[in-house]
Amino acid sequence: MYPSPFTYHRPASVEAAVALLAEFGDDAAPYAGGTELLLAMKMGFAQYDHLIDLKRLPTLRTIANEGEFLSIGALATHAEIAADPTVRDLLPPLAALCGEVANPRVRSSGTIGGNLCFAEPRADPPALLAGLDATLILRSTSGERAVPAASFITGALETVRAADELLVRIDILLSERRVRYERIVFGHRTVAGAVAALGAPGQPERIWVGGVATCPAPLPLTQSLLDAEPGAADARLHDAVTQDIAALDIADDEEASADYRRHLAATVALRAIAGCREELQR
């Protein structure tokens, strides 16, 4: 109901923000839209002595076409990404997803960075960004480092981000691949999501699923099959996807049983592949 008491900081620069993180470490949390953080604190799931409000750091919300990359500031909200002409132009599936997640209230304050750093197993962007070979740029007082989206999340609510690091932006490799993200949502929760990024000569095919296991996962057999045989028949695809998903660590929970979740994951993965292939045919 009430969060435990905390000190509120509003740094005026990214330097000041990372300095505060360096000072307080584990006792501090960056505060972006607060849509996850404040809820977790109010419900008593999380306690921090210091909140470092990022909202006054406009450089963290820029979205730019950097030629090779589409660069999205960590503080860009879902609504901003959904409405951004550059994203809509270069990566329509990301814009579409950001226009659909959650509800208007959450979209207008929840940020892409907050979504990634919270690492909620049911989140959509982590799998999509992993499938797009995105890179996350983390910054601390000792400088910046780049982490592939594919290895950023390590478990439920766990990432490789150190307590003194700020996620500043996400660089998404621009490629010729066709991208399709499919998800199944019950109520306000995604129960399975999958991205297929296919069909760019010389680039590996990517199929990732999210929302089913504790963190997003690639489907390696399916990827290799498509790498070797872009036109692989449906039955073989189905087998590969099913095998890949059987290898994932998926547990029963009060929302869905593991076998059902596996089925849903396979369903969305096949839908994403089919959607991508359709686009490639056009």
Partner 1 sequence: MPPDVPTTGNERLDKVTGRAVFASDITVPGMAHGRILRSPLPHAKIVKMDCTAALALEGVVAILSGEDLADLAQPYWGLYFNDRPVIAHEKVRYVGEPVALVVAETPAVAQAALDRIDIDYTPLPFIDNAGDAIAPDAPRLHGNLEAIADFYFKGQARPVSGTNIYQLYAISTGDTAAAEAEAARVFEHTYTFPGIAHYAMEPHCVTAAFEGDRLTVWSGAQSPTAVQKVLSRVFGLAYANVQVIVPHIGGGFGGKASVKIDPLVAAASWKAGRPVRVALTQEEAMLTCRRLGASITLTTAVDANGIILSKRAAILLDGGAYADTGPAVTVKAANRVIGPYAIKNLEIESRAAYTNTVPGSAFRSIGGPQAVWATESQMDEIAAALEIDPVDFRHRNLLPRGGKVLDSLRPLDADISEMMGHAGQAITSMGDRPAAGVAVAATDPGVLPLGGALVRLLADGSVLVMANSADIGQGVRDVLRNVAAKTLNQDPAAIRVAGPDTATTPFDWGTGASRSTVIIGLAVEDAAQDAREQLLALAASALEIPLDGVQLVPGGVATGSETIPFDRLFHTAFGIDSGEIVGRAMVTPSRKGSDFATSPLFWETAVGACDIALDEDTGALAVTRFAGVADIGHAINPAGAEGQEEGAAIQGLGHALYEHLAFIDGQPVNATPIGYRIPAAGDVPHAARTVLIENADGPGPMGAKGMGEGGLLPVAPAIANALARRYGIRLRDLPMTPEKIWRALRERDSDVP
Q: In whole angstroms, how far apart are CA 76 and each of 24, 39, 93, 141, 144?
A: 25, 20, 16, 22, 19
Contact 230, 198 (CB under 8 A): yes
| Residue whose CB is less far from partner 1, 136 or 276 | 276
Question: Which of 38, 65, 224, 260 touches partner 1 by CB under 8 A?
Answer: 260
Nearer to ligand FAD, 109 or 175 (CB): 109
x/- binding map, residues 156-195, to partner 1, per CB under 8 A? ----------------------------x-xxx-------
How many Å apart are CA 25 and CA 10, to the nearest integer? Answer: 16
Alpha-carbon distance of 167 to 128, in angstroms, equals 17
Min. distance of Cβ 39 from ligand FAD in angstroms?
6
- Nearest CA-CA partner of 210 in 240, 246, 178, 250: 250
Residues paired with 159 in a beta bridge: 153
Q: Among residues 162 and 246, whose Cβ is nearest to partner 1?
A: 246
- List the beta bridge partners of residue 173: 69
Q: Please tell me what DSSP assigns to residue 77.
A: B
CB of 99 to ligand FAD, least distance (A): 11
Q: How far is the C-alpha of 21 from the C-alpha of 53, rounded, in Å?
A: 11
Residue 241's identity, in one-letter code, is V
How far is 23 from 90, CA to CA, in rounded Å?
39
Rule CB under 6 A: choose which of 82, 91, 102, 264 binds ligand FAD.
102
Q: Is 256 in the site for partner 1 (CB under 8 A)?
A: yes
What is the C-alpha to C-alpha distance for residues 212 and 198, in angstroms, rounded to an integer?
22
Q: Could you tell which of partner 1, ligand FAD, none binds residue 172, using a CB distance below 5 to 8 A set by kind?
A: none
Closest to ligand FAD by CB, 47 or 257? 47
- Of 95-103, 172-180, 224-232, 248-256, which part binds ligand FAD (CB under 6 A)? 95-103
Question: What is the C-alpha to C-alpha distance for residues 210 and 250, in angstroms, rounded to an integer?
Answer: 11
Nearer to ligand FAD, 30 or 131 (CB): 30
* Distance in Å, CB of 211 to partner 1, minimum: 13
Cβ neighbors of 223 (< 8 A, separation 6 or more) are 204, 205, 206, 207
In angstroms, what is the minimal distance from the CB of 183 to ligand FAD?
8
Kindly state the tokens that stand for 26. 């584990």
CB of 51 to ligand FAD, least distance (A): 8
Residue at shortest CB range from ligand FAD: 114
> Site residues (CB under 8 A) for partner 1?
1-2, 39, 43, 184, 186-188, 254, 256-257, 260, 263-264, 267
Residue numbers at the binding site for ligand FAD (CB under 6 A) = 29-37, 54, 74, 101-103, 106, 109-111, 113-115, 117-118, 123-125, 166-167, 188, 190
